[in-house]
Amino acid sequence: MANDHDVIIAGGGLNGTTLALALAQAGLRIALVDRLSAEYRSAADFDGRSYALALASSRLLGALGLWDMLNKAAQPIHEVKASDGRAGEGSSPFFLHFDRGEIEDGPMGYLVEDRFLRRVLLRAVDESPRIDHLPDETITAQTVGSHAEAETASGRTLRGRLLVGADGRQSGTAARAGIKRFERDYHQDALVCAIQHEKPHHGIAHQFFMPGGPLAILPLSQDRSSIVWSERRPLARHIASLDDAAFLAMLCPRVGDFLGDFRLCGLRFSYPLGLSMARQITDRRLALVGDAAMGVHPIAGQGLNQGLRDVGTLAEVIADANRRGEDFGASDVLARYRQWRSFDRAALAMATDGFNALFSNDNPVLRLGRDLGMSLVTAMPGLRRRLMREAAGLNGDLPRLLQGQPI
């Protein structure tokens, strides 16, 4: 059975679903394929992550008509504090401090739990008359010519003018097209959980740079915080295997007492960390977005944000080409997407890779250097403001959706 669509999207994760909604808003017909069932992906315990969404990302979700549904559960980030730390010693006196009052646009971003974001996206996909959502279907083969074709494990053939790989770090779409990846294993895992605490967090996101990796304590609604604790893999695996009481006994001295007593709420998760970067993000009638294009270390909370910048950029390039009557799967159109994303991709890969190498160690010389560096940035309002706008996703040549405008 052949199905004709404008665009076939392989992968219905956060980026694949958002792209489908953006292209549907531009009037295109989309096939959105995911190997997992929609029920499984929308289950509350599917993924324990909470995302620090940059302000620009929240504007993109607003332009797609989704932010009103998310806003109630989203926690605004009013301040960010980063400092060196060691278990039991608290944070170092040198720190980096960003305050929302320094940029006129509003909060730097929001913390949104996966269980809310994914459900809102999947519901919107199912309500869209222009999206054929095909859950429980795995894409197993693809061909390109005058059209792109994708075959699924159940024997379905999908046809479109463009195939988009939104199928994550192990992107089969990229592999089948012969696109190679640059991979770096950080030999760290991120231990992720949520805690309920006695004292309010005041909307402040904390990052402690510990010898084994950064520990992020990110504010959630209702006096809860999300913990993203990166540790060297053997120790992380040991900590992950502990029961909740023993896990908390390891976590407490690292967090310190500024939130008062706290307890775990919900399940614990762990994620291996690495950089996975596709060497090219376009090929004949093919484009990659999200982690399929590049998956980074969560040290700066930018992975999904950069995926949404892929989504906003690709959607705009396709929509504009379509309005002009161009074949949006053609190489010269896809080159616009590739060029628009190239600087941002390279800069983020280098920044996250470099920060992790600089901060995930206990070398006294590097420690002194970075403490001084953080104090220096804190003392320079112009530079601090520029970095804040960068983290909020407001710098650079932004596609319309990331400015909160319709496609």
Ligand X SMILES: Cc1cc2nc3c(=O)[nH]c(=O)nc-3n(C[C@H](O)[C@H](O)[C@H](O)COP(=O)(O)OP(=O)(O)OC[C@H]3O[C@@H](n4cnc5c(N)ncnc54)[C@H](O)[C@@H]3O)c2cc1C
Binding site for ligand X (CB under 6 A): 10-16, 33-36, 49, 51-52, 138-139, 166-168, 172, 190, 192, 228, 271, 290-291, 295, 298, 301-305, 307
Q: Between 174 and 317, whose beta carbon lies closer to ligand X?
A: 174
**CB of 316 vs ligand X, minimal distance in Å:** 18
CB of 284 to ligand X, least distance (A): 19
Least Å from the CB of residue 400 to ligand X? 20
Rounded to the nearest whole angstrom, what is the least distance from the CB of residue 49 to ligand X in the complex? 5
Neighbour count for residue 122 (Cβ, 10 Å) = 20
Nearer to ligand X (CB atom), residue 228 or residue 319: 228
Nearer to ligand X, 136 or 223 (CB): 136
What are the start-end ranges of the E strands in 155-223? 157-160, 162-165, 181-197, 204-210, 213-220
Q: Measured between alpha carbons, how far is residue 230 from residues 148, 205, 377 in Å?
A: 40, 16, 24
Tokens matching residue 225: 């915080």
Task: Confirm if 185 and 274 have CB atoms less than 8 A apart.
Answer: yes
Q: Of the two residues 312 and 367, which places its CB atom closer to ligand X in the complex?
A: 312
Residue in the block written with tokens 């010519």: 145
Q: Give the shortest CB-369-to-ligand X separation in angstroms.
A: 26
**H-type helices in 256-330, by residue range?**
303-323
Q: Shortest distance, CB of residue 351 to ligand X, whole angstroms?
A: 13
CA dihedral 305, 310, 315, 321 (to 10 degrees): 150
Strand partners, 393: none
For ligand X, the closer of residues 33 and 315 by Cβ is 33
Site of tokens 């160690």: 361
Nearer of residues 219 and 301 to ligand X, judged by Cβ: 301
Instruction: Of 284, 318, 287, 348, give the one whose Cα is nearest residue 24.
Output: 318
